[in-house]
Structure 1
């Protein structure tokens, strides 16, 4: 199939300056030098790009599945739904969605603005199957605009989910007389839709593309009687992904592209957990120490029974306790958590969901809100020599600055760090954060506590204390499900790094 240039030409992107470095390569060009005046540790490749780092720092954010399926009580629509079926009982309020997410301490959200049924939640120029032809409160709704405006007002990150698969489009999966796929869908529909969404703001942090590649096909807009099976055999070629990726990155320099950009990965389940061993490279729940591309994990999970709100069913909202466990098993295991909060038919997050989000925020405040490490004295048995502007002392671990870090000398893959208090503290969790700008390194560690500052006891139960990555939170009682009411009394905590790919680097230790 010939290369498609419509996205570039439509937005005059050909004149845009090309990216100086492909985020997919994850290799940094550095000027050759015979010296290292600051004694900076050498990178352990692969390393994340700037946009990948900014994305990882979002940590916990919301998914908002809302659209035609909300009004048909379906998880997957057919593409044959009349536009007037999208009928909110009042004007949808994306600001309320994000306010609910913010109470749970989420830092942003991704709005589903086009699902597989093809209905667009903005008055797009690419199809009549959109809000322009809805009625009442649904007519001319522009969810991307309202969502982006609300996110900026609330100082939250935002992005959009747009399905490549489109059950409503007569162009999707279409073949010519020779049995070859045509370029009409990508050229006339999908790429222009992505370009339209990019215009809602250069500050988007993620654009989400699901991986569905075909199935039962309804026949397209305006044709509600045909039904057939259509699939595609190569999504990279069919959707012209290289062109899409480069064009969107030129428009949105900080956006990561889930599903097509090779920048972040699906963690491998929709149940809100990652592997206890979790590398930011490779695939699935555990990743791989030996993979050559940086692709940290994202866990997409539901707060209710389904992805979309179903007015005919009990939506079975998960409790704050269940969601806190999910948080520990994703954000606390070197992944991000994308938690779905489905708006109801009024275009609002239901009170039953909002209540649990507020309760979750309270739990996060209570259990992970007061960092005891800030009042500790911290020491390490080995520290990299400070030279020039370099500073690698243990005090960097508790200074609250993500840009300073502790490091060992080259060749030292083991170390012992101790935090001590004058009086015993009640402790339940320890959080570690690697300085991943220079790569993920730690392969094995252990945590011990001491009530008298002399005799130490290993904590963490059967938790696999292997990888750390961006963030690792260890429940000292060994359970992500059971909160330790009494905790452990500790005058000292010892963190022993037992193995690392290279000299270990940590920028933050927190104790709760």
Structure 2
């Protein structure tokens, strides 16, 4: 028995020896892979297309279609196609030129709303522009012209196509999804491979014309629209196109008033119903679902209405601070009128907004003039470092970080002469996940006595971008005579893992 035991023990050692060697080799490989000493990601993390989408930050919504001429917000689906009667050729280039002046980087054109009327010559339904007797209508192809204008102006573009169709008799059965909705998405994807977003709204159904059958049809959007196939259909043609809403790649911020929560996480618990917690996200969520805030710049509805006015530039700037400045994107609605162009008053207000944005947030960045230090810095890798200066070098591939296990730290900016600072812009390196849970901003004129800034604003999350007015007000953020400071420090007070700060601007 003893001989058998010794033989078996020797066999076990022989079998495990190579495994031990392989395990040791694997450990060596892992250290080589992380030779740069980069922090491990905190999941979930954004897909490349989601990161590109968030960097767009501020873009336009153009609600234009049958409702522009009927005066409705939601058409029933039984509208006579002849009612779509532009008084001039619709001009998407004019739309995009106007919003570019406001500082926007792109736009989303509504090409099919819930009434099912399509603003392009689709093969899926006769309820489209070609069925109108109006000469301008017959020549209309908004997806074609919008994409061409965006490319000409160097802007991003995408389309809103309602999954809900109050006109189509097959809505609610499998035939509609396969033969109508997915085909419409494929047609729109073909208008440009570089689209950045496709919008899916009104996806739960309701009452409608439905080819004359009427009634109410409700569906379960999490299964009805065949989302995996929808994603494949679009992404095969447009690899960088984020699918909003039903597509599950970005979420509705939860209101239509141009604000996100001061605490706003990009992770989200829900994939297809994120609006339950839209303003705030969920730190423990499984899905990367960054928020998008949709808001109107006019006093009427989403579509143009006679007699409506425009919100003031200061109010629009406040929306910017409370969305882009709170880890969300802002999609601002600018409705064309019956001529198919933006009204002159809208164009003028957009210019005012652009001037305000440029003067307040794109002028001198005092961070670049400062001596920058940190009380904790991550050990450098073989070819990179994580020094404090990385937060103001303009390179999104570099960042400041602390060592593993150190979830707090302070970055300090100092000048020989006091600087007039109104806004602090903070950005995490979100390729590695959203981390910061609490931070504070303080200023000093002697480097010894410090004053907390930002008023009662909740300095909790940062995410892709956070903008803090030092005076603590988003509605009256720009002071003509701000207090000048010689020292400013950003304290990371708590983080899910070592903080990774990519960019700090002091404006």
Question: Same-fold call, TM > 0.5?
Answer: yes
1:146 and 2:145 are equivalent in the alignment: yes
Please list, as runs of the form range in 1=range in 2, the aligned pairs for 1:187-336 lying within 5 A after superposition: 187-220=178-211, 223=212, 228-282=214-268, 283-304=277-298, 305-311=300-306, 314-336=307-329
Deviations 1:315-374 (A, max 9, x none): 131111000000000000000001100000011111111111110111111111121111
Q: Which residue of 1 aligns with 2:336?
A: 343
Aligned pairs for 1:442-461 (under 5 A) are 442-461=436-455
SS at match of 1:33: helix
Alignment: residue pair count: 467
1:47-86 map, 5 Å? 47-86=45-84
| Structure 1 residues not aligned, in runs of 5+ | 1-30, 174-181
Within 5 Å, give how 1:477-496 maps onto structure 2: 477-482=471-476, 483-496=478-491
User: How far apart are the structure 2 equivalents of 1:511 and 1:439?
Assistant: 24
- Check the 8 A contact 1:39/1:387 in 2, yes or no: yes
Find the structure with the greater CA-based Rg: 2
* Residues 408-461 of structure 1: per-residue CA shift (max 9 Å, x gap): 111111111111111111111100000000011111110011133432211000
Higher helix share: 2
Aligned to 1:98: 96
Contact 1:170 1:219 in 2 (8 A): yes
Correspondence for 2:169:
170
The separation in 1 between residues aligned to 2:332 and 2:391, in whole angstroms, is 30
CA deviations over 1:41-91 (Å, ceiling 9, x no partner): 111111101000000000000000000000011101111111111111100
CA RMSD of aligned residues (A): 1.3
* Residue 205 of structure 1: how far off its partner (Å): 0.3
The TM-score with structure 2 as length reference comes to 0.90
Residues 230 and 247 of structure 2 are in contact (CA less than 8 Å); yes or no, is this contact kept in structure 1? no
Whether contact under 8 Å (2:394, 2:503) holds in the other structure is: yes
Distance in 1 between residues matched to 2:412 and 2:106, nearest whole Å: 35
SS in 2 for 1:61: strand
Report the alpha carbon displacement of residue 34 of structure 1 after superposing the two structures with TM: 4.0
- Contact kept, 8 Å, 1:435 with 1:505, in 2: the verdict is yes
Structure 1 residue 391 corresponds to structure 2 residue 388: no
Tell me which stretches of 4 or more aligned residues in structure 1 moved more than 3 Å.
none
Distance in structure 2 (CA, Å) of the matches to 1:121 and 1:291: 38
Mapped pair 1:356 → 2:349: yes
- Deviation of 1:214 after TM superposition, in Å, equals 2.0
CA distance in 1, matches of 2:386, 2:190: 43
Counterpart in 2 of 1:465?
459
Matched, 1:426 2:420: yes
Query: How far apart are the structure 2 equivalents of 1:271 and 1:119?
Result: 27
What is the match of residue 272 of structure 2?
none
Aligned to 1:33: 30
Q: Deviations over 1:87-109 (max 9, x none)?
A: 11100000010011101100000
For residues 238 and 140 of structure 1, the distance between their equivalents in structure 2, rounded to whole angstroms, comes to 34
Q: Which of these residues, 412, 434, 437, is aligned with residue 406 of structure 2?
A: 412
Distance 2:283 2:223 in 1: 30
SS in 2 for 1:491: strand
Is the 8 Å Cα contact of residues 76 and 116 (structure 1) preserved in structure 2? yes
Instruction: List per-residue Cα deviations over 1:247-298 (Å, max 9, x = no partner).
Output: 2112211001001222111111010000000011124111111111111100
Counterpart check, 1:381 vs 2:375: yes
